Chains A and B, each alone.
Chain A
């Protein structure tokens, strides 16, 4: 019974780290630019498909992932330019609709290019790590390690570079940042680039574990929004801990109650958090600007 619990805990952390990986890019863009970027799921999807296409063309997985991420960075900046920048100062609903439109267009384009058939990227790391207490695949270990690396990289960028300071200042107080002479064009570009790259990396890694298809991004983004609400919008620590927490809850519900309740569990949690602590576990209550 205990080792079953340990195994379910590891399962939950592995699942949770996939949620956190997707949520990171989303929370960054939301936190800095206040854009509910539903198209993040499509950054994820395009990242997965490009990696798949390049691996099929004979490239090494990691190289394919890097090239895929670069292409998705360009895509992210393009989406910002076309879908979001013209709406600066528009109400959140307009941004949301624009994001949904971008998301649907990308899905349909992907369907035209790759068809809707599900496929999986050949796993770059095979095999299973068996310990006396639990079993975990090496690919899951890679995903968890990538989460740690991604968080470290974002932390370094945000806290150790001028650009990062500009991004954080903008997230704190957009108008004041403008007054301090910060170039919003640069901040937007950088934020979208980092967000898109995170999405693409998540897509490539998870596409080697899960099937990829044009609408594969829809569910993870919904889950990532749940994570954002759990962890607090705009908080990186919240995205990571919220993601892990959600993964654990889902696995425990499925493992000890019923698989049919797995999704219901997640969304019940969402409603509870919204009722009890609307700013999330790690968010601070929004100060009036």
Chain B
């Protein structure tokens, strides 16, 4: 492993000295991925990392990436960011020291803003964010994101309110979630413009366990909707405590919440009828019977012996988006690859599983590098989420 890395470094050094004359002397493209593989967020991070491994293996097995007239193999370098800013920056430095110029990740809403100013100034690296939904972590030059932004989650919430004509809402938001906190005022305004009274905006934090005070207040206000924005363990608890205190209105979640996690914290009966407003996840695409998703699911299970995670398909898609950019650019120079990404259209990447919608000009990424992956409404029925198609879009 060490020898291999040394060889890679030497070859890259050689490539550098030969400057632009022959940019692709190596027959490998090094791709770095940055996800939490240990710590509390590893539950999301490991399935993302595996989605990338799967895509890289598939691409290499099918002959690699065609860059110009040459085939190049992808080689993956994995770093653990523990979902903390410090570990994330250290991991980025490590990847850059190994001359990794293409990075997929991170997951954490705390990590991405820490990496952003570094990568934003580094024209020698291209990043595709496949996890965080925080705002302001892309630039459309060398940083792109194939995950939704929180504001796109919020679109689905607005769709739901528009369709159901809810008259009032109380919001419970995880105040440590930079993404949700960032769009809180805008969402509140949007809901007001849809004639819903915002009866209360309450906050909690990850790891809180007792919400009785806020829920008692809420029950007394009797809003038609309780909107919970955060992570599923607390989401389940808030839902349960609200019901126990006699809240009978509609509960709406805005959170990535795999049913397996939800059911570890609340019973299926208590979840029945809860809405969730997020972009479709891996499980949704599989549930919808989408061919590529089914194939992905099968391959993933065969390789890892477990079902894919909520965000696995996003990470998988990110690798194919990079591949398409290399091929379209006919180069692995960052500048050329960035240009290809900026101009890319969804149909350029037939392998994509997630349901990206082209922006108005037909491109996959908009001027700030954001895909259009708007939230959709699903409802809890029986043991899991079921898409509610007539509301979406």
Interface residues of A (CB under 8 A from B): 4, 7-8, 11-12, 14-15, 18, 115-120, 128, 130, 135, 137, 206, 209-211, 213, 215-216, 219, 250-255, 259-260, 262
Residue B233 at the chain A interface, CB threshold 8 Å: yes
The verdict on A7 contacting B237 (CB below 8 Å), with A118-B265, A211-B209 known, is: no
CB contact between B210 and one of A7, A15, A115, A120 (< 8 Å): that residue? A15
For the complex formed, measure the closest distance between the CB of B362 and the CB atoms of chain A, giving whole angstroms: 41
Question: In the complex, what distance in Å separates the CA atom of A250 from the CA atom of B210?
Answer: 10
Residues of B within 8 A of A135 (CB): 244-246
Number of B positions contacting A (CB below 8 A):
29
The answer to whether B233 and A8 have CB atoms under 8 Å apart is no
Residue B23 at the chain A interface, CB threshold 8 Å: no
CB contact between B217 and one of A120, A130, A255 (< 8 Å): that residue? A255
Residue B213 at the chain A interface, CB threshold 8 Å: yes
For the complex formed, measure the closest distance between the CB of A132 and the CB atoms of chain B, giving whole angstroms: 12
Residues of A within 8 A of B232 (CB): 118
Residues of A within 8 A of B234 (CB): 211
Residue B203 at the chain A interface, CB threshold 8 Å: yes
Residues of B within 8 A of A215 (CB): 40, 207
The verdict on A211 contacting B214 (CB below 8 Å), with A117-B43, A118-B233, A259-B203 known, is: no
Closest to B205 in A: A263
**List of 3 A-B pairs having minimum Cβ-Cβ separation, nearest first:** A119-B264, A254-B213, A118-B233
Scoring A115, A130, A135, A259 by chain B CB atoms within 10 A of each residue's CB, the highest score goes to A259
**How would you classify the secondary structure of chain A's contact residues: helix, strand, loop or mixed?**
helix
The answer to whether B214 and A116 have CB atoms under 8 Å apart is no
For the complex formed, measure the closest distance between the CB of A3 and the CB atoms of chain B, giving whole angstroms: 9
Question: In the complex, what distance in Å separates the CA atom of A209 from the CA atom of B207?
Answer: 13
Residues of B within 8 A of A216 (CB): 207
For the complex formed, measure the closest distance between the CB of A144 and the CB atoms of chain B, giving whole angstroms: 14
CB contact between B244 and one of A128, A251, A255 (< 8 Å): that residue? A128
Closest to A206 in B: B209
For the complex formed, measure the closest distance between the CB of A204 and the CB atoms of chain B, giving whole angstroms: 15
The verdict on A210 contacting B209 (CB below 8 Å), with A7-B245, A115-B43, A135-B245 known, is: yes
The verdict on A255 contacting B213 (CB below 8 Å), with A118-B233, A119-B264, A120-B265 known, is: yes
Closest to A116 in B: B40
A-B contact pairs, 27 of them (CB 8 A): A4-B216, A8-B213, A11-B213, A14-B212, A15-B212, A116-B39, A117-B264, A118-B261, A118-B264, A118-B265, A120-B236, A120-B264, A130-B246, A135-B246, A137-B244, A210-B210, A210-B237, A211-B209, A211-B234, A211-B237, A216-B207, A252-B213, A254-B213, A255-B213, A255-B216, A259-B203, A260-B175
The verdict on A260 contacting B203 (CB below 8 Å), with A116-B39, A135-B245, A211-B233 known, is: yes
The answer to whether A7 and B216 have CB atoms under 8 Å apart is yes
For the complex formed, measure the closest distance between the CB of B314 and the CB atoms of chain A, giving whole angstroms: 20
For the complex formed, measure the closest distance between the CB of B110 and the CB atoms of chain A, giving whole angstroms: 16
Residue B220 at the chain A interface, CB threshold 8 Å: yes
The answer to whether B207 and A219 have CB atoms under 8 Å apart is yes
For the complex formed, measure the closest distance between the CB of B164 and the CB atoms of chain A, giving whole angstroms: 26
